[in-house]
Amino acid sequence: MPNSKSESHDAQNYGPVPGAGPMVQGKVAILAIAFLGIAASVGSCVYYARLQQRPLALWGPESARLMLRAPTALAYNLAPVSDDEKAAPSDLIDIAGQRFRLVNQRDVSRAPGFSHIRQSFVHDASFDWNETPNNCQPTWTHALRFVDGDKSATIVLAFDCHRAALASTDPAAKDKPAEVDLKAHSESIKPVAAAIAEFFASFEPKKAATDTAK
């Protein structure tokens, strides 16, 4: 014969507790939503990391950081420099043995649309990775310098050949101009060259703007 006390005890310890089911289901739903959010965030990070992998290798992590985050961004025109012309090393850039002077400085840090220019330099789709540089002899005409305190990164641009290159400085050689290694730090920006040229054209004289956009 069943023991009523035992049955009562079992019901008390193991029987369903009113309201427990919906509460557990709610917690499971919250955990599921949180998991999906984390998974989506991780997936997004992986996706963008892949988009930036080759640009980071091209420019280097520190230069890429400056392109994205430097508080000051300066735009310049490039003017060829003769051997006997004097200029401060910080105003000079050596590209394949030819020296250029940075002229017509403009602060474009907050210029309309410049945030997109920043991002384009570290986005994989901004580059034509298959284009051979020997197909065109570039005319270097413009530069962007990204400055954060005593650190800077300078990009030189040749819109006729859709190319961008990084000018590197040697901290131990302050009396020398920045140099461009066209083999290591230069790539085609054909997908975005027209947009960047248009950005420069927006604050240049009409003739220069027309020539730049060609």
Mean pLDDT by 10 residues, the chain (214 residues): 48 49 57 54 44 89 95 96 79 90 95 94 95 85 95 95 88 72 91 96 66 49
Instruction: Express each pLDDT in 149-180 by its tens digit.
Output: 989 999 999 999 999 999 986 655 566 788 89
93 Cβ neighbours under 8 A, 6+ residues apart: 78, 99, 100, 101, 102, 143, 154, 156, 167, 177, 178, 179, 180
Contact 189, 120 (CB under 8 A): yes
The separation between CA 203 and the C-alpha centre of its own chain, rounded to angstroms, equals 23
The pLDDT of residue 183: 86
The residue extents of the domains of the chain are 50-213
pTM of the model: 0.72
- For residue 36, the model assigns a pLDDT of 57
